[in-house]
Structure 1
Amino acid sequence: MSEKPTSHPHGSRPGPARRRPQGWKLAAALVPLIALAIAGCSSSAGTSSAGMADRAPATSPAAGTAQPADAEAGAPAGGSTAQPAPSSVATRTPAPAPALRSTAAGNPVQYSYTGTTETWVVPAGVTSVRFEAAGGDGGGAVHPVTKEGGSGAIITGSFPVTAGQIVTIAVGGDGATGAGGWGAEGMSGGPANTAKQDSRTGGAGGGATLIALSNADGSNWHEIVVAGGGGGQGGGSGDPDLAGMGGSAGCLEFSNASDTRCGTPGIAGMNGSQGTAPPLGGKGGAAGGATSSTGARGIGAKDLGGNGGSGGGGVTGGAAGGGASGISAGGGGGAGRSFVDSSVVSWQISATQYNGQFTASLAGAGVILSW
């Protein structure tokens, strides 16, 4: 008897039971792990990028971008938030402009006789100028032999200045056997007269040396120093040793009108010495004896006598030496009067022939400035 086939409860075909695939469970389990791995990689990459940025060189500013001249090293780049700079940070000071010198360069500068005025502009940063100034010497007599006249004054000291001020310099000339030595502002030495016979002409006076100061525009021009000139030698007689000697400068006059003291006095011209017959030569003029700034002219001699020497130039010029009559010698001229402004400090004065009394470089007319 044949058996009937067994029926499936759901009507499906008979056979082994089918199982659903399990891969979806594995994939579902891996999803969170993959997400965590991706997140971890992103975090690691970010950390690495930040570290590289820390080690990367600073980006240079674009060409043409102006940067502050006084920016501190390590300041934040443009566009970032910077901390305010402390108020105590010093700003840069520009270098001073080159010094201007209108006549000479270097330190010190020295001026000699030129017969005109010269100027020097105070350089930046200079507040005091030291000087030496010496007036011109008096001239010698012509006959019978030429001899020297009196010495000009030499003055040293210092005066205050400011940058840009103008210092005016005028070096006095030595007295010649005829013309007086040139001096600025009318402070020339007096000229010598021509003797009536034998050319026994007295020497001319030396010119004064001037240092003045003014503002850059020329205002407030005023004298700082006047070094007086020496007096000329008196005209000789038949004996060359008998002529009166010119006076040497060195008398002071202060800018303060109430103070008329003198420092080292200017030396009056010596009397003319007696010749082979009377009368004696005339007396030399005292320092500062003339009323003008120009040294006075030597007085003409009578007969065969020598002329007097001319006075030196200065604030007041030296008086002329007296002329002789007969065959006697003429007197020497007086020295010019010097001047020192009240702003000058640590000054000294002497005659150039006696400048061993203090340290000085000049042995004749001239000016030296140092700072």
Structure 2
Amino acid sequence: MNRHTPPCAALADRLLRALIALAFIIASAALWWPHEAGAARLKEVASVQGVRSNQLVGYGLVVGLDGTGDQTTQTPFTTQSLAAMLQQLGVTVPPGTRIQLKNVAAVLVTASLPPFAQPGQQIDVTVSSLGNAKSLRGGTLIATPLRGADGEIYGLAQGNLVIGGAGAAAGGSKVQVNTLNAGRVPSGATVERAVPTPLAQGDAIQLDLNAFDYSTAREVARVINTKMGQGSAQALDGRTVRVLMPTDAHARVGFMADIENLEIALASPAAKVVINARTGSVVVNQAVTLSACAVAHGSLSVTISAQPVISQPGPFSGGQTVVAEQADIAIQQQAGSLIQMPAGTQLTDVVTALNSLGATPQELLAILQAIKAAGALNAELEVI
């Protein structure tokens, strides 16, 4: 230590050096220390069988539109629905009356009934136009029963619509942002009937994993048994886990609250390449590897050009001038060299090898399928 350096400064200097060395060791440990593929809570990898949302649908009318409703001559069901509603309200429309409406639109109302929803609670609804209404902005949804798949009424929707779009038209020009024929009614439906759930039935529940994986199913059963005691959970297959539950309803809620936040160590996913043939998108996960192979890539282009050819008749011949077209077709194929793709054991190696081909996303679809057929792509190829 320098004799001119104060003792406290020297101590601070040694402490700083120790911290730097410790940080270096921790940073380097990430290169050689084995790590798991990931971890997630139980609620994020599995769900209780039967505890789910239920879809509701209903047919109704939106009124109060500013002249942007259905054209009744082209949508006769709108006038029929209005006549039926007026009849329920005590108003009888004379038979044969042609009703000309501009402020009414027929709509389809959809909603999702969450699990454990009780009568009196409110849920959001989505309202979509069925006819040729120009806009639902400013409209009010009239009381609409919402039915489930069994035909029973589980909710009643009514309220003012919230439209996220905007538009204007004048002088033959039209500008529109987002859609004007669909909107939402926040808290617009009242639950009228509850759906029974299996959480309080029987002596056990079944957990359904979001993805099929034997390792994850075994890990879920192991973690639950460690927390709640051996024999509490049993993995039935790669997707379902059976869990024994307490008999008391209050104890069951506490049991689920304890296990849904348990940390689950996720195994590495299976190697998969997902291809969207419509958009040309290619997604590769980190488990995909390549075996050594060689790929020849070249593009073929066909050019068709047409030139007008005028046929002029002779003088005093009485003929007519005829205009025809002469088409020229040219085929050009770019030279495609044989590119060697080395074996890749990491995602970065696979990406580098595929980028070296210089192919467009659409061409990459055919290349990946050919590599898979040759046995050099160590992954499952899925086309969506």
- TMscore range, shorter length: under 0.3
Structure with higher helix content = 2
Pair member with larger Rg? 1
Query: TM-score scaled by structure 2?
Result: 0.18
Greater RCO, CA 8 A, separation 6+: 1
